[in-house]
Homo-oligomer: A and B are copies of this chain.
């Protein structure tokens, strides 16, 4: 399946707001991340590797992998946010790095594990595409709080 940016115009209101928030963040633009999927309880972000995103061995920097996981886990909670909640904020997350992030592209796929009223638990898997093969490079687990007025 081809990975490509979503069409934001075709999204229902709630999802459209989540996508606009993530994609409009200046740091998201600095990193160059794109959103390839968004639906209730599921969200994907990806970034194409480039020299600026690398660490000392040319792998995608752990900071980029962490950014992808954190941002996707916070945003996916937004796709199921309870009525009245204004937004989401990361309370905490944990990430295990399984392999060096070698490859042309990193993609994170995030899901809601358990939706709550004040917070949701979400998880993410980050994979890298290298020589046509996709390998899992990180797994993460997060607690995301909902912001109320």
Contact = CB atoms under 8 A, between A and B. Distances in A.
Interface residues on A, range: 35 or more
Given A91-B96, A113-B139, A114-B136, 16 more contacts: A25-B61, A26-B55, A27-B53, A27-B64, A28-B61, A30-B30, A61-B67, A62-B70, A62-B90, A63-B67, A63-B70, A63-B71, A91-B143, A92-B96, A92-B121, A119-B119
Interface of A: 21, 24-31, 51-56, 61-64, 66-67, 70-71, 74, 89-100, 113-114, 118-119, 121, 123, 136, 139, 141, 143, 145
Contacts of A98: 113-114, 121
Closest 8 CB pairs of A and B: A63-B67, A27-B61, A94-B94, A98-B114, A92-B96, A66-B66, A30-B52, A25-B55
A23 to B, nearest CB: 10
Contacts of A66: 63, 66-67, 70
A74 B71 CA distance: 21
B63 A31 contact: yes
13 contacts: A27-B64, A28-B61, A89-B97, A89-B100, A91-B91, A91-B96, A91-B143, A92-B92, A92-B121, A93-B94, A93-B95, A114-B136, A123-B139
